[in-house]
Amino acid sequence: LKFTLRPRNRRQDQNAAEGSTSHYSSFTLTSEDLALARPESFGMNCFTQRELECLEKLSAFCAHANRHVSNHLIIRYATYHNFNYDKAIDAITKGYNYSYLYLEMEGELMRFFIQSMVFFPLPGLKSRKTGSEVFYFRPSRYFPTSRNNHLLLDNICYILNDMSKSIDQCRNGVVMLVNMDGYSMKNFHNDTQMKMTRITEGQVIPTRIVDILIVNPPKFFKRLWKVVKPAFSSTYKRRIHIIKNEKLGNYLMDDYQEYLPDEFMGWRNTQEMAIDYCDMKRYEERQSALL
Protein backbone atom coordinates (compact mmCIF):
# COMPACT_ATOMS: atom_id res chain seq x y z
CA LEU A 1 0.00 0.00 0.00
CA LYS A 2 1.26 3.44 -0.89
CA PHE A 3 0.12 6.83 0.31
CA THR A 4 -0.32 9.59 -2.22
CA LEU A 5 2.17 12.32 -1.39
CA ARG A 6 0.07 15.45 -1.78
CA PRO A 7 2.05 18.70 -1.99
CA ARG A 8 2.16 20.92 1.05
CA ASN A 9 0.71 24.39 0.69
CA ARG A 10 2.77 27.56 0.83
CA ARG A 11 2.04 28.20 4.51
CA GLN A 12 3.18 24.69 5.42
CA ASP A 13 6.46 25.16 3.57
CA GLN A 14 6.96 28.52 5.30
CA ASN A 15 6.24 27.04 8.74
CA ALA A 16 8.70 24.22 8.11
CA ALA A 17 11.38 26.63 6.98
CA GLU A 18 10.87 28.95 9.96
CA GLY A 19 11.09 26.03 12.38
CA SER A 20 14.06 24.48 10.64
CA THR A 21 17.34 23.81 12.36
CA SER A 22 19.19 23.63 9.05
CA HIS A 23 21.41 26.61 9.89
CA TYR A 24 22.63 25.19 13.20
CA SER A 25 25.16 22.49 13.90
CA SER A 26 23.81 21.87 17.41
CA PHE A 27 20.27 21.39 18.68
CA THR A 28 18.86 24.51 20.36
CA LEU A 29 15.35 25.05 21.67
CA THR A 30 13.45 28.24 20.88
CA SER A 31 10.87 29.73 23.25
CA GLU A 32 8.19 27.95 21.21
CA ASP A 33 10.00 24.65 21.64
CA LEU A 34 10.28 25.18 25.38
CA ALA A 35 6.49 25.11 25.53
CA LEU A 36 6.84 21.44 24.65
CA ALA A 37 8.71 20.76 27.88
CA ARG A 38 7.10 19.16 30.90
CA PRO A 39 5.77 21.84 33.28
CA GLU A 40 8.26 20.88 35.97
CA SER A 41 11.19 21.02 33.54
CA PHE A 42 13.22 23.95 32.32
CA GLY A 43 15.09 24.17 29.04
CA MET A 44 17.23 21.19 28.20
CA ASN A 45 16.47 19.52 31.53
CA CYS A 46 13.46 17.87 29.89
CA PHE A 47 15.93 15.57 28.08
CA THR A 48 18.58 13.19 29.32
CA GLN A 49 22.12 13.57 27.98
CA ARG A 50 21.63 10.58 25.67
CA GLU A 51 18.39 12.04 24.33
CA LEU A 52 19.95 15.44 23.76
CA GLU A 53 22.87 13.89 21.88
CA CYS A 54 20.39 12.10 19.62
CA LEU A 55 18.53 15.37 18.95
CA GLU A 56 21.78 17.15 18.11
CA LYS A 57 22.76 14.40 15.63
CA LEU A 58 19.33 14.51 14.00
CA SER A 59 19.50 18.28 13.73
CA ALA A 60 22.98 18.09 12.17
CA PHE A 61 21.80 15.50 9.66
CA CYS A 62 18.85 17.66 8.60
CA ALA A 63 21.15 20.65 8.23
CA HIS A 64 23.66 18.71 6.14
CA ALA A 65 20.92 17.24 3.94
CA ASN A 66 19.21 20.65 3.64
CA ARG A 67 15.93 19.24 4.92
CA HIS A 68 13.63 21.76 6.54
CA VAL A 69 12.47 19.86 9.61
CA SER A 70 11.27 21.82 12.64
CA ASN A 71 12.59 21.19 16.14
CA HIS A 72 9.12 20.04 17.10
CA LEU A 73 9.06 17.38 14.40
CA ILE A 74 12.59 16.23 15.25
CA ILE A 75 11.50 15.81 18.87
CA ARG A 76 8.44 13.83 17.78
CA TYR A 77 10.40 11.43 15.60
CA ALA A 78 13.13 10.98 18.20
CA THR A 79 10.67 10.36 21.02
CA TYR A 80 8.60 7.93 18.98
CA HIS A 81 11.71 5.87 18.23
CA ASN A 82 12.99 6.06 21.83
CA PHE A 83 15.86 8.32 20.73
CA ASN A 84 17.34 5.63 18.51
CA TYR A 85 19.21 7.75 15.96
CA ASP A 86 19.19 5.23 13.10
CA LYS A 87 15.48 4.51 13.35
CA ALA A 88 14.58 8.18 13.76
CA ILE A 89 16.66 9.33 10.81
CA ASP A 90 15.22 6.59 8.62
CA ALA A 91 11.69 7.70 9.54
CA ILE A 92 12.49 11.38 8.97
CA THR A 93 14.03 10.66 5.57
CA LYS A 94 11.00 8.67 4.45
CA GLY A 95 8.20 10.75 5.91
CA TYR A 96 9.10 14.30 6.95
CA ASN A 97 7.50 15.75 3.81
CA TYR A 98 4.19 13.89 4.13
CA SER A 99 1.31 16.35 3.84
CA TYR A 100 -0.38 14.43 6.69
CA LEU A 101 2.06 16.12 9.09
CA TYR A 102 0.98 19.63 8.11
CA LEU A 103 -2.82 19.53 8.05
CA GLU A 104 -4.92 22.53 9.05
CA MET A 105 -8.52 22.81 10.23
CA GLU A 106 -10.03 24.34 7.12
CA GLY A 107 -12.04 23.59 4.00
CA GLU A 108 -13.34 20.09 3.39
CA LEU A 109 -11.41 18.65 6.35
CA MET A 110 -13.22 20.98 8.76
CA ARG A 111 -16.57 20.15 7.15
CA PHE A 112 -15.84 16.43 7.42
CA PHE A 113 -14.96 16.82 11.11
CA ILE A 114 -18.24 18.58 11.90
CA GLN A 115 -20.56 16.61 9.65
CA SER A 116 -19.22 13.10 10.25
CA MET A 117 -18.16 13.22 13.93
CA VAL A 118 -16.13 10.07 13.24
CA PHE A 119 -13.03 11.12 15.23
CA PHE A 120 -12.53 13.68 17.99
CA PRO A 121 -10.48 13.94 21.22
CA LEU A 122 -11.99 13.42 24.67
CA PRO A 123 -10.59 16.36 26.70
CA GLY A 124 -9.52 15.54 30.23
CA LEU A 125 -9.75 11.77 29.84
CA LYS A 126 -6.60 9.76 30.57
CA SER A 127 -5.73 6.08 30.49
CA ARG A 128 -5.32 4.31 33.82
CA LYS A 129 -1.83 2.82 33.39
CA THR A 130 0.09 5.31 31.23
CA GLY A 131 -1.76 8.60 31.74
CA SER A 132 -2.22 8.85 27.97
CA GLU A 133 -4.81 11.15 26.44
CA VAL A 134 -7.74 9.51 24.64
CA PHE A 135 -9.54 10.13 21.35
CA TYR A 136 -12.84 8.73 20.16
CA PHE A 137 -13.62 6.78 16.97
CA ARG A 138 -17.16 5.93 15.82
CA PRO A 139 -16.62 3.86 12.62
CA SER A 140 -20.35 3.30 12.01
CA ARG A 141 -20.59 6.98 10.98
CA TYR A 142 -18.20 6.45 8.11
CA PHE A 143 -19.58 5.31 4.75
CA PRO A 144 -16.64 4.92 2.35
CA THR A 145 -16.72 6.51 -1.08
CA SER A 146 -13.97 7.42 -3.51
CA ARG A 147 -14.51 11.08 -2.56
CA ASN A 148 -14.20 10.86 1.21
CA ASN A 149 -11.69 8.08 1.92
CA HIS A 150 -8.78 10.51 2.08
CA LEU A 151 -10.72 12.73 4.49
CA LEU A 152 -11.00 9.91 7.01
CA LEU A 153 -7.21 9.52 6.93
CA ASP A 154 -6.71 13.29 7.18
CA ASN A 155 -9.11 13.31 10.12
CA ILE A 156 -7.15 10.84 12.24
CA CYS A 157 -3.78 12.31 11.21
CA TYR A 158 -4.88 15.79 12.27
CA ILE A 159 -5.88 14.50 15.70
CA LEU A 160 -2.65 12.53 16.16
CA ASN A 161 -0.62 15.63 15.28
CA ASP A 162 -2.68 17.77 17.64
CA MET A 163 -2.22 15.27 20.48
CA SER A 164 1.57 15.31 20.04
CA LYS A 165 2.29 18.96 20.79
CA SER A 166 4.00 18.56 24.16
CA ILE A 167 6.88 16.37 25.24
CA ASP A 168 4.61 14.69 27.78
CA GLN A 169 2.15 13.87 25.02
CA CYS A 170 4.94 12.47 22.84
CA ARG A 171 6.28 10.32 25.67
CA ASN A 172 2.91 9.07 26.94
CA GLY A 173 1.30 8.40 23.57
CA VAL A 174 -2.45 8.25 23.04
CA VAL A 175 -5.30 5.77 23.37
CA MET A 176 -7.90 5.21 20.64
CA LEU A 177 -11.35 4.39 22.02
CA VAL A 178 -13.47 2.69 19.34
CA ASN A 179 -17.24 2.63 19.77
CA MET A 180 -18.45 -0.23 17.55
CA ASP A 181 -22.18 0.35 18.08
CA GLY A 182 -24.03 0.16 14.76
CA TYR A 183 -21.00 -1.01 12.80
CA SER A 184 -21.63 -3.09 9.66
CA MET A 185 -19.77 -4.12 6.52
CA LYS A 186 -21.15 -0.99 4.84
CA ASN A 187 -18.63 0.90 6.98
CA PHE A 188 -15.66 -1.25 5.95
CA HIS A 189 -13.28 -0.38 3.11
CA ASN A 190 -10.26 -2.64 2.89
CA ASP A 191 -7.76 -0.24 1.30
CA THR A 192 -8.69 2.62 3.64
CA GLN A 193 -8.57 0.30 6.65
CA MET A 194 -5.07 -0.89 5.78
CA LYS A 195 -3.88 2.68 5.30
CA MET A 196 -5.37 3.64 8.64
CA THR A 197 -3.56 0.69 10.19
CA ARG A 198 -0.26 2.02 8.82
CA ILE A 199 -1.06 5.37 10.42
CA THR A 200 -1.94 3.90 13.81
CA GLU A 201 1.15 1.67 13.69
CA GLY A 202 3.29 4.82 13.42
CA GLN A 203 4.49 4.34 9.85
CA VAL A 204 3.11 7.71 8.71
CA ILE A 205 2.61 9.91 11.79
CA PRO A 206 5.17 9.80 14.66
CA THR A 207 2.56 9.47 17.40
CA ARG A 208 2.59 6.39 19.62
CA ILE A 209 -0.80 4.72 20.07
CA VAL A 210 -0.35 2.73 23.25
CA ASP A 211 -3.78 1.05 23.29
CA ILE A 212 -6.71 0.55 20.95
CA LEU A 213 -9.90 -0.26 22.85
CA ILE A 214 -12.50 -1.87 20.56
CA VAL A 215 -15.73 -1.80 22.55
CA ASN A 216 -18.85 -3.90 21.91
CA PRO A 217 -18.08 -5.18 18.39
CA PRO A 218 -20.90 -6.97 16.51
CA LYS A 219 -20.85 -10.75 16.17
CA PHE A 220 -19.57 -10.74 12.58
CA PHE A 221 -16.47 -8.81 13.72
CA LYS A 222 -14.85 -12.08 14.79
CA ARG A 223 -14.81 -13.24 11.16
CA LEU A 224 -13.52 -9.87 9.98
CA TRP A 225 -10.85 -9.91 12.68
CA LYS A 226 -9.54 -13.27 11.47
CA VAL A 227 -9.14 -11.81 7.97
CA VAL A 228 -7.33 -8.59 8.91
CA LYS A 229 -5.34 -9.78 11.93
CA PRO A 230 -2.50 -11.47 9.95
CA ALA A 231 -1.66 -8.12 8.35
CA PHE A 232 -0.83 -6.58 11.73
CA SER A 233 2.56 -6.71 13.41
CA SER A 234 2.85 -8.64 16.66
CA THR A 235 3.56 -5.41 18.55
CA TYR A 236 0.46 -3.78 17.10
CA LYS A 237 -1.75 -6.76 17.93
CA ARG A 238 -0.70 -6.58 21.57
CA ARG A 239 -2.06 -3.03 21.77
CA ILE A 240 -5.54 -4.04 20.61
CA HIS A 241 -8.10 -4.96 23.27
CA ILE A 242 -11.54 -6.20 22.26
CA ILE A 243 -13.77 -5.63 25.28
CA LYS A 244 -17.28 -5.08 26.60
CA ASN A 245 -18.14 -1.60 27.85
CA GLU A 246 -18.17 -2.74 31.49
CA LYS A 247 -14.43 -3.45 31.19
CA LEU A 248 -13.53 0.13 30.26
CA GLY A 249 -12.68 0.93 33.88
CA ASN A 250 -9.72 -1.44 33.63
CA TYR A 251 -8.15 0.82 31.02
CA LEU A 252 -9.43 4.34 31.77
CA MET A 253 -9.14 6.65 34.77
CA ASP A 254 -11.70 6.77 37.58
CA ASP A 255 -14.96 8.58 36.74
CA TYR A 256 -14.21 8.20 33.03
CA GLN A 257 -17.91 8.52 32.21
CA GLU A 258 -17.69 12.25 32.88
CA TYR A 259 -15.52 12.65 29.79
CA LEU A 260 -17.33 10.36 27.34
CA PRO A 261 -19.93 11.48 24.77
CA ASP A 262 -23.57 10.92 25.69
CA GLU A 263 -23.98 8.40 22.87
CA PHE A 264 -21.43 6.17 24.61
CA MET A 265 -22.16 5.88 28.33
CA GLY A 266 -21.06 9.47 28.91
CA TRP A 267 -22.47 12.82 29.97
CA ARG A 268 -21.19 15.21 27.30
CA ASN A 269 -23.14 16.22 24.20
CA THR A 270 -21.53 14.42 21.25
CA GLN A 271 -22.19 17.08 18.63
CA GLU A 272 -21.02 19.88 20.89
CA MET A 273 -17.76 18.03 21.59
CA ALA A 274 -16.97 17.73 17.87
CA ILE A 275 -17.98 21.31 17.02
CA ASP A 276 -16.18 22.84 20.02
CA TYR A 277 -12.99 21.03 19.06
CA CYS A 278 -13.16 22.32 15.48
CA ASP A 279 -13.89 25.87 16.63
CA MET A 280 -10.99 25.82 19.10
CA LYS A 281 -8.50 24.49 16.53
CA ARG A 282 -9.66 26.95 13.89
CA TYR A 283 -9.24 29.83 16.35
CA GLU A 284 -5.78 28.66 17.44
CA GLU A 285 -4.59 28.33 13.84
CA ARG A 286 -5.86 31.79 12.92
CA GLN A 287 -4.12 33.30 15.93
CA SER A 288 -0.91 31.46 15.05
CA ALA A 289 -1.07 32.79 11.49
CA LEU A 290 -1.15 36.35 12.84
CA LEU A 291 2.14 35.92 14.74
What string of DSSP letters covers 44-109? GGGS-HHHHHHHHHHHHHHHHTT---BHHHHHHHHHHTTT-HHHHHHHHHHHTT-GGGG--S-HHH
Least confident of 24-28, 150-154, 273-277: 24-28
Q: Which pLDDT band, with edges at 50, 70 and 90, does 30 fall under?
A: low
- Which position has the higher pLDDT, 135 or 98? 135
pLDDT tens, position by position, 85-113: 999 999 999 999 999 999 999 999 999 99
- Which position has the higher pLDDT, 38 or 33? 33
Task: Evaluate if residue 236 carries a pLDDT over 80.
Answer: yes
pTM for the whole structure: 0.85
Q: Which pLDDT band, with edges at 50, 70 and 90, does 125 fall under?
A: very high
- pLDDT averaged over the chain? 86
What contacts 191, CB < 8 A, 6 or more positions away? 1, 149
Task: Evaluate if residue 26 carries a pLDDT over 70.
Answer: no
pLDDT tens, position by position, 73-89: 999 999 999 999 999 99
What string of DSSP letters covers 212-241? EEEES--TTHHHHHHHHGGGS-HHHHHHEE
Task: Evaluate if residue 6 carries a pLDDT over 70.
Answer: no
Q: Cα separation of 92 and 109, whole Å?
A: 25
Q: Which pLDDT band, with edges at 50, 70 and 90, does 8 fall under?
A: very low
Q: Which of 155, 173, 181, 154 is nearest to 211 (CA)?
A: 173
**Predicted local confidence at residue 227, as pLDDT:** 85
Helix (H) / strand (E) element for 209: namely strand 209-215
For the chain, the distance separating the N- and C-terminal CA atoms, rounded to the nearest angstrom, is 39
Q: Which pLDDT band, with edges at 50, 70 and 90, does 10 fall under?
A: very low
